[in-house]
């Protein structure tokens, strides 16, 4: 009985910790001369940290991801020598449209 209760408490604690890190939706883009391996490393870092790749672009070197702020900092540091651009994914309006 003690083992089952301990396991249950551990599972609840783990679920609480995972739920505590808010996820941000971001757009990550790189200059056209960036090696594909750099982009794949960034996507893999996001996946390993529990984030998801929501969309991959074909016309530009980039993708949309949902991940924590900590991982965003990591991806920024990984791509700093390749001029990575990371911005919040948000709805844009044209002039006069709301």
Give the span between the Cα atoms of 21 and 33, in whole angstroms: 33
Give the span between the Cα atoms of 59 and 32, in whole angstroms: 10
Q: What is the dihedral of CA 65, 28, 91, 24, to 10 degrees?
A: 40
Query: Among candidates 1, 10, 7, 26, which has minimal Cα distance to 88?
Result: 26
Question: Is the pLDDT score of 37 beyond 80?
Answer: yes
Confidence of residue 18 (pLDDT cuts 50, 70, 90): low
pLDDT tens, position by position, 43-85: 999 999 999 999 999 999 999 999 999 999 999 999 989 999 9
pLDDT mean across residues, the chain? 84
CA angle (73 as vertex; 65, 66 as ends), nearest 5:
15
Domains parsed from the chain with CATH numbers:
22-88 (3.30.70.80)
């Amino acid at each position: 009985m003690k083992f089952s209760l301990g396991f249950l408490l551990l599972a609840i604690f783990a679920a609480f910790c995972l739920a505590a890190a808010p996820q941000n939706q971001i757009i990550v883009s790189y200059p056209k001369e960036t090696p594909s391996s750099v982009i794949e490393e960034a996507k893999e870092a996001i996946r390993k940290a529990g984030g998801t790749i929501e969309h991959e672009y074909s016309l530009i070197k980039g993708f949309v991801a949902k991940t924590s702020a900590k991982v965003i900092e990591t991806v920024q540091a990984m791509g700093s020598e390749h001029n990575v651009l990371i911005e919040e994914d948000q709805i844009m309006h044209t002039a006069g449209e709301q």
